[in-house]
Amino acid sequence: MAAQHFAGPVLCATLVDRDDERRELSALLATGSPRLALLTGRRRIGKTYLLTHTWSPDRFFLFTATRTTADVNRVQLLLDFSRWSGEDIRVEDYPTWRTVFNLLLDFRTPEPLVVALDEFQYLAEDETGVGGLASELNAALERRRALRPILLVLAGSAVGTMEALAAGGGPLYGRFAWQHRLRPFSYWHAGELAGLVDLRERALAYGIFGGTPRYLAALDPNIGLIENVQHLLLAPRGEVRLLVETAIEQEEGLRDVAKYRAVLRAVAGGATKRNEIAQRAGLPNDNALRDKLVRLIELGYIERWQNIDAKSNDAVRYGIADPCFRFHQRFVEPNTSVLERYDPAHVWAENVEPHLDAYMGREFERIANQAYDRRRVALGLPMVQHWGRWDGVDRARRSLEIDIVAPLTTGGTMTGTVKWARDPVSADLHFRHLDMLQRAADSGRRWAHEAIKPAAPLFFLAAGGFTRGFHEAAEASGHPLIAWCLKDLYQE
């Protein structure tokens, strides 16, 4: 084996967030015994980037499988490993995956070794073959007796297929010492990667591009956010637009892609219930539609929610979980033909910007929840059991919509309102919120009875801040008050 220098974990300054994952992976290798890890996550979420920025290259071997035959991948893995290790490896000596796994697991290095098999599902011919591939790996693990330190990481974007490897009954059940699904960045880390200074633009960047690292990394720091949106998302050949438009096609096991697109567009357009989605997408409201919704939820494109006090038989509501997909479905898809004929800057001015504040309202609610959880410990705020909202009607059939309804672990319920307003909000916002709480309580909502008690905290987030009159009215109500503006969201 060629002489190599082994160093400790690489602490790369360009790796945003992911500190917990990197620390935990490094700890697995430090145990001094064999470990198997499973890393999953949607495409473009940064799995490979995380792995390549956790260890130095001389103690870390990465192979990324491609959509080709199992034999082609097997041969390429052996060639890559030969180049990396400096060993003369003859492909014909390793005719099966079990022999390849034996080679990787038995390979001797002066220091602990990390082997990552990225897009592991492509090493097999199809989803059924992944189970057989896992059985071969399990057999290779079974034959090993020496407890030399090695970390084998299986990574893949076919989330369901990969996570099934660790499920009960699977060949590798009980084998994994670490399992993790990598999620998109929060608003905070999205702003950090985007590198924007203006706080409103930082929030907008998250509301438009979401938390997918690959999308955010495309932003050009030499131009403004709006120009980036026009170039990357609105332009027909925009880099992020092309990534979004091909994301569904690249997901494993999705058939009838056009129907999945129709479902996404229906939900982005405001259809929240299954029958509404079916009508707007032009699809039957049947089990096939239910299965499509379930699959899109598993992949992280759609989320489901119910009112905080919903009964088991109440209708489930759906929304777009990924902000970038929501923006694309809301503003790009409906303007496809217009964007082919006109400058993206003109389409932005006429068809996007006038509706952007209304669009940001829902995304700002998402930011409110994340910001509270991020700052809770530092500010000594109560712990939230789960975040929710409530909309419907009161006993008089008047509309009720409360942005934040959050049961607390200490008992009681915190409620609040979120406003993506440019100007400071007045005391009217406070009075309207209390009025809605009272109407909800009068309608028999148990959580509202808890929320109107003086000890129940109120959480208001207004991008433009608050007038003095608002603070005076809120303080006079006697409720513990959390009133944040944009500056509060981005405090360390």
pLDDT band at 439 (very low <50, low <70, confident <90, very high): very high
The whole-number pLDDT of residue 6 equals 30
Question: Where do the H-state alpha helices sit in 110-221?
Answer: 127-143, 159-163, 187-194, 199-209, 213-217
Domain boundary among 181, 207, 238: 181
280 shares a domain with 261? yes
Domain CATH for 107: 3.40.50.300
Name residue 89's amino acid.
I
315 shares a domain with 268? yes
Burial class of residue 367 in the structure, from the number of CB atoms within 10 Å of its CB (0-12 exposed, 13-18 middle, 19+ buried) = buried
Count of CA atoms in the C-beta half-sphere (13 A) of 13: 0
231 shares a domain with 341? yes
When pLDDT is averaged across residues 7-11 and rounded to a whole number, the result is 35
pLDDT tens per residue across span 448-491: 999 999 999 999 999 999 999 999 999 999 999 999 999 999 99
The whole-number pLDDT of residue 127 equals 73
The whole-number pLDDT of residue 492 equals 84
- Kindly tell me if the per-residue pLDDT of 3 is higher than 70: no
The pair of structure tokens assigned to 269 is 């357009």
- CA 171-84-63 angle, to 5 degrees, is 35
The pair of structure tokens assigned to 481 is 């008050």
Count of CA atoms in the C-beta half-sphere (13 A) of 184: 26
Q: What is the DSSP letter of 84?
A: H
Q: How many domains are contained in the chain?
A: 3
The whole-number pLDDT of residue 253 equals 66
203 shares a domain with 169? no
279 shares a domain with 231? yes
The whole-number pLDDT of residue 146 equals 58
In a domain, 84, yes or no: yes
- Kindly tell me if the per-residue pLDDT of 385 is higher than 90: yes
The whole-number pLDDT of residue 230 equals 98
Domain boundary among 153, 181, 209: 181
205 shares a domain with 122? no
Ranking 32-41, 140-149, 452-461, 473-482 by mean pLDDT, the lowest is 140-149
**Residue 161, Cβ neighbours under 10 Å: how many?**
19
Provide, rounded to the nearest whole percent, the portion of the chain with pLDDT above 90.
Answer: 73
198: left (phi over 0), alpha (psi -120 to 50) or beta: beta
Domain CATH for 396: 3.40.1350.10
- Kindly tell me if the per-residue pLDDT of 176 is higher than 60: yes
Residue 218 structural domain: 191-362
Domain boundary among 147, 181, 215: 181
Helices (H) and strands (E) in the chain, counts: 22, 12
Ranking 54-63, 143-152, 161-170, 429-438 by mean pLDDT, the lowest is 143-152
Domain CATH for 255: 1.10.10.10
The whole-number pLDDT of residue 36 equals 94
138 shares a domain with 30? yes
Are residues 403 and 365 in contact, defined by beta-carbon separation less than 8 angstroms?
Answer: yes
| pLDDT: which is higher, 36 or 248 | 36
The whole-number pLDDT of residue 12 equals 39
pLDDT tens per residue across span 310-352: 887 888 899 999 999 999 989 999 999 999 999 999 999 999 9
